[in-house]
Chain A
Amino acid sequence: MNQMTKNLIYTLGVIVLLAIPLIASDFLTTMIIRIMYYSLLAIGFAFLAGQLGLISLAIPAFMAVSGYTIGILETRGLLSFPFSVLAAMLMVLVIGAVFGIFVNRSQGIYFLMLTLILGQIVWAIVLQWASFTKGSSGIIGIEKPDIMKWRLGETEVGFYYILLVCFILIVLAVLALTRSSFGLKLKGIRESETRMKMLGYPVARLKWTAFMISAFISGTAGVFFVYYTGVMHPSSINLDSAAMVLIASIFGGVQSIIGAILGMSIIKTFEISLSGLTQRYLIIIGTMFLLVIIYAPKGLMGLIYKNKYMQSLYQHWYRGGKKDE
């Protein structure tokens, strides 16, 4: 495939994405909006899993931090958009930095357990500190900023486009990061921490930075979640959410950013479509997950990369077109 054909495909893709809220049904647009902000969570997860081989179950906690910060600041009239968003993301970075200090010397199952604990601490705080977070009632009535309120009929066009721009920028930035020198250093840590230290790399600092990046991406998901739903509730950030992110990433391919988006898209599409048909839709998703684990242990991206053309695209992106043998 030559460059012109590729450019044509990319342009068509962008046109389709831009046209969706104008031509598609409100249901479809809503579904894509939900897929996009949940995919941000999956990207935050896949960035750590793919680059460092670390499975973080604290991802929804950062969504909670940004969502609750905006909710608390705006419903109490302390700050309004865009300052509430800036404050929320700052809070995400601060909490991410603190959590990062706790977890960046651990690996494997210990990292997973630590992030699980930290995620549960955040969940317990928002549930139990009712005077501040409204506890199990959740914070309701969080209004979208004016810039996101533009509608065409029932379709939330303004929200869709702002989310789309942020989503594309984040995906491109993360993809760029994964093939930069920084991304390669993280992969080096994934392969051998001791060797990286011996080569003079500040391993703990690099892991901490990666953890902060992951937290930031997950935090952006919280911003869009809270403005879209208008509600921030402990059930949105509980262990189920962490499991959903984990399942979606494994489904798509745990080391791949595109795989995470693909996995989350499939999970959310099935969840939204099937939940209207049966209450037992999780059994179907669970069965699909089982089949993927058995027949495609590297996830759907593993199957996709078996295709020579897709593999060459991968090689071109990550290794400048050089094939590994």
Chain B
Amino acid sequence: MNNEHLKYASKTYPHSEETHPALMIKNVSKAFGGVKAINNVTLTVEEGRSRVLIGPNGAGKSTLFHLITGEIPVDVGELYLFGDNVTKAPVQRRSELGLARTYQISNLFNELTVEENLYLALQGKERGADHFLSFLKPWFKHKKKLERVREVAQSVALENKLDTLVSNLSHGEQRQLELGIAIAPNPRLILFDEPMAGLSPTERVFMKKLISRLSVEKTILVIEHDMEFALSLTNDVTVLHQGSVIAEGTPDDIKQNEHVRKIYKLENV
């Protein structure tokens, strides 16, 4: 790693020498009008560990993700990323600290190619690195970045689709790209919002492998309806219902929790 890389590393992760939870949510609440979407939620994800967030539809899981990323401001409570209080920090600041996410409904650059999508995902972390005359250099002449783009594409099995417009990709490929964009900047904490949604059985197998591998390498927080997969991923499970945490523990604890069983029975899930 040359000095240039070290410069960005230290800029991106200012607290890497200290040990803090990757994510700490303290008594966070959020209401939309009269509806309390998130109600006094407290949650911690330790660095290097994974946590699964489950709950019936409308439990507030995706809203909680929006609050963590800063896409929606919290009403009450505090949010910490790697020890930094980011409660009022903009989305970009949280991204600088090493936060990335995928979206439940793919949020991609549809009229750009896969290569351009991944290039943008990589470039985000390196902003400010350009020379002031860099506008004269076409983006596709940045050979080193393109090599990295190819590596990321390979890791999500899209290396043969680099020149394809995103709007021409299948749903499964779009989900793979969604994941590729999230992992391209080499984040420290990744939020996966229903990564299996709408995937075919074959695509699910591939995606499960990919997320399982990432759960070893990174800190991840996953929202997933596929219980079998979700509970096999980690020992840290949180159940959200009507905006509140109703249970927390290992998969066995969760399976035996009366409240959880009741909710899921009622929901027929």
Contacts and interface: CB of A to CB of B under 8 A. Distances in A.
B107 A194 contact: yes
A191 interface: yes
B111 interface: yes
A194 B71 contact: yes
B135 A196 contact: no
Interface in B86-107: 90-92, 95-96, 100-101, 103, 107
B133 to A, nearest CB: 10
A177 B181 CA distance: 24
Interface string A314-325: 000001101111
A182 B133 CA distance: 11
A46 to B, nearest CB: 16
Given A194-B71, A198-B101, A324-B164, A183 B139 contact: yes
B138 A320 contact: yes
B91 A188 contact: no
B71 A322 contact: no
Contact of B135 (A177, A191, A192, A323): A177
Interface residues of A, number: 31
Contacts of B154: none
A298 interface: no
Interface in A175-229: 176-177, 179-185, 187-188, 190-192, 194-203
B107 A176 contact: no
Nearest to B184: A199
B125 to A, nearest CB: 6
A184 B120 contact: yes
A179 B185 CA distance: 22
Nearest to B135: A180
Interface string A149-191: 0000000000000000000000001001101111111011011
B112 A181 contact: no
Contact of A200 (B96, B108, B110, B164): B96
Nearest to A181: B139
A195 B108 contact: yes
B181 A179 contact: no
B144 interface: no
B112 A200 contact: no
A192 B181 CA distance: 13
B134 interface: yes
Contacts of A200: 92, 95-96, 124-125, 127, 185
Contacts of B140: 179, 319-320, 322
Contacts of A191: 108-112
Contacts of A196: 120, 124
B246 interface: no
A89 B96 CA distance: 36
B168 interface: yes
A180 B181 contact: no
B134 A198 contact: no
B40 interface: no
A201 B126 CA distance: 10
Interface of A: 173, 176-177, 179-185, 187-188, 190-192, 194-203, 319-320, 322-325
Given A181-B130, A196-B120, A319-B163, 11 more contacts: A176-B135, A176-B138, A184-B139, A187-B109, A190-B111, A195-B103, A198-B69, A199-B121, A200-B92, A201-B124, A325-B164
13 contacts: A180-B135, A180-B137, A181-B135, A182-B130, A187-B109, A188-B112, A191-B108, A191-B109, A192-B107, A198-B95, A199-B95, A199-B121, A319-B116
